[in-house]
């Protein structure tokens, strides 16, 4: 339902409270800051220098949050400065070359004889010189949900995808990048990265690919009715909860 409302109907969420707007603004700032920071290392090894970081951070922060209330602005600046600096110190950068940042990638996948176009924007692509693999880095400002590392059952139904794979982002991005670079999906790593944690997707490509094919085949099959999920857990933070009739008091 969320995919349909956002990507098919083009509906956008109406922000309800100032705090929510500010949180969204902070998330956008973090993405834009990391893009600009790592863009300087494109086609070269990543080398962090604290003085350069502080200078760039102060310039970008003061420019982006120019209209923030002064007291909140200073507090937020200190918090983000500490968090982003620690993130950069801990982040997976050793012996890595930046291939690209915020790269739009697209490709086609054959679903029952029909070529379906898939498009995505990757936050960052590295070349890991430790194992000569490409690494997809996806930044998250909230909690991270990733596929289960070990999947014992065969992915055959939507329920399997929901319970075991949880998100199709790694499936789509690995598939698209492998097409773009003409390499095997197994030569690509996928990392979810937030200011608090880094999670490598260890799920076998066969499982990730099966999940993608199952969902796309179901979407394209006119005989399969569109069904809203019965699980309410993801609905709490969904942008489109008012439209699907699952709004509750949380």
143 and 218 both lie in a single domain: yes
- Within 62-113, strands assigned E span 96-111
Q: Of the candidates 49, 71, 90, which is a domain's last residue?
A: 90
Asked if residues 184 and 194 have their Cβ atoms less than 8 Å apart, the reply is no
Residues 107 and 8 in one domain: no
For the chain (250 residues), the mean pLDDT of every run of 10, in chain order, is: 56 48 82 93 89 93 89 90 88 84 95 94 94 94 89 86 94 97 97 91 95 93 78 67 60
Residue 243 located in a structural domain: no
Phi, psi torsion values for 241, nearest 5 degrees = -65, -25
Q: Is 6 helix (H, G, I), strand (E, B) or coil?
A: helix
Looking at the fold, whether 82 and 101 belong to one and the same domain comes out as no
Q: Say if residue 177 is in the same domain as residue 226.
A: yes
Does one domain contain both 190 and 132? yes
158 lies in the same domain as 111? yes
213 lies in the same domain as 129: yes
Domain membership of residue 242 (yes or no) is no
What's the structural domain count of the chain? Answer: 2
What does residue 235 show for φ and ψ, rounded to 5 degrees?
Answer: -75, -20
Q: Are 61 and 80 in contact, with CB atoms under 8 Å apart? A: yes
Q: Does any domain span residue 43? A: yes
Q: Which one of 46, 70, 90 terminates a domain?
A: 90
Residue 200 CA to residue 158 CA, distance in Å, equals 23
Residues 128 and 103 in one domain: yes
Sequence-ordered list of residues with C-beta below 8 angstroms from that of 81, at least 6 positions apart, any chain: 54, 57, 61
pTM: 0.83
Give the separation between CA 194 and CA 87, rounded to whole angstroms.
8
**How confident is the model at residue 239, as a pLDDT?**
67
Distance of CA 113 to the CA centre of its chain: 29
Q: In whole angstroms, what is the distance from residue 189 CA to residue 166 CA? A: 18
Residue 83 lies in a domain: yes
Residue count of the chain, please give it.
250
- Which of 62, 90, 118 delimits the end of a domain? 90
pLDDT value, residue 63: 93
For residue 245, tell me if it sits in a domain: no
Range of the domain at 82: 2-90
Say if 107 falls within a structural domain.
yes
> How high is the pLDDT of residue 248?
54
């Amino acid at each position: 339902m969320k995919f349909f409302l956002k990507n098919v109907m083009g509906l956008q969420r109406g922000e309800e409270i100032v705090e929510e707007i500010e949180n969204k603004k902070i998330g956008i700032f973090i993405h834009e800051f990391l893009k600009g920071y790592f863009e300087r290392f494109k086609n070269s090894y990543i080398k962090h220098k604290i003085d350069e970081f502080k200078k760039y951070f102060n310039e970008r922060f003061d420019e982006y949050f120019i209209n923030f209330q002064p007291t909140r602005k200073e507090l937020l600046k200190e918090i983000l400065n500490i968090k982003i600096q620690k993130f950069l110190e801990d982040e997976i950068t050793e012996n890595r070359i930046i291939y690209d940042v915020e790269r739009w990638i697209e490709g086609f996948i054959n679903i029952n004889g029909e070529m379906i176009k898939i498009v995505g924007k990757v936050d960052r692509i590295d070349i890991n010189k430790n194992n000569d693999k490409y690494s997809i880095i996806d930044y998250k400002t909230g909690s991270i949900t990733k596929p289960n590392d070990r999947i014992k059952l065969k992915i055959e139904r939507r329920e399997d995808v929901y319970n075991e794979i949880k998100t199709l982002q790694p499936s789509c991005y690995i598939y698209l990048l492998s097409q773009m670079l003409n390499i095997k999906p197994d030569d690509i790593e996928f990392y979810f990265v937030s200011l608090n944690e880094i999670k490598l997707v260890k799920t076998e490509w066969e499982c990730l690919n099966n999940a993608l094919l199952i969902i796309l085949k179901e979407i394209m099959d006119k005989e399969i009715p569109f069904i809203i999920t019965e699980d309410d857990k993801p609905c709490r933070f969904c942008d489109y909860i008012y439209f699907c009739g699952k709004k509750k008091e949380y």
